[in-house]
Amino acid sequence: MIHFIHPGSFKANVLPVALGGSLFMVLADLIAKTAAGSVELPLSALSAIVGGIGLFILVTFKKKVVSS
């Protein structure tokens, strides 16, 4: 996803990808600890749900770009 926001070479994308990934994990951990109330949701389950949705969006977007 960072590649679509910040296009460029691999070296130019290392820092934004690292910061984006760490921000995602911090936010996922925060949501996992607060969303379910008294039950703590596993971080892996929440990141898998969000990652699956993100992967679906990327595949759908890439398919439209290739077919155009």
Q: Where are the domains of the chain?
A: 2-67
Say if residues 29 and 45 touch (Cβ distance below 8 Å). no
State the Cα–Cα distance between residues 25 and 43, nearest whole angstrom: 8
pLDDT band at 62 (very low <50, low <70, confident <90, very high): low
Q: Write down the pLDDT at residue 1.
A: 57
Q: What are the tens digits of pLDDT across the range 10-25?
A: 677 788 778 888 888 8
